[in-house]
Amino acid sequence: MDVTVPIYLRAVLAEKDIGSAIFKIYEGGIYHVEIKRGQKVTMDFVMQGYQFLDEFGGGQYFNIYEFSSFSDVEP
């Protein structure tokens, strides 16, 4: 896959909406997490993401976390 192809032109191989975020796996080994407005990333949230990745084969991915307004990360 050509690395110059923008993410929005790549095929989505898997997607899961957990309420507070949307997890997506794109072709070319890209893991994209869109954290919704006002949500907080917790350890439980991270574990749900790992479970999602394991469901679709695991492996190494380029991680992109996209935070909407007023989103936060728990220490």
**Any domain includes 1:** no
Residue 2 placed within a domain: no
Neighbouring C-beta atoms of residue 26, cutoff 10 Å: 22
Domain that holds residue 46: 7-73
pLDDT in tens, the chain (75 residues): 566 777 778 899 999 999 999 999 998 888 999 999 999 888 998 899 999 999 887 788 888 889 888 887 877
Q: How many domains would you assign to the chain?
A: 1
Residue 34: predicted pLDDT: 94
- The number of beta carbons lying within 10 Å of the beta carbon of residue 15 is 12
Task: Say what the pTM is.
Answer: 0.82
Bridge partners, residue 69, by sequence: none
Taking Cα atoms as reference points, which of 15, 20, 11 lies closest to residue 46? 20
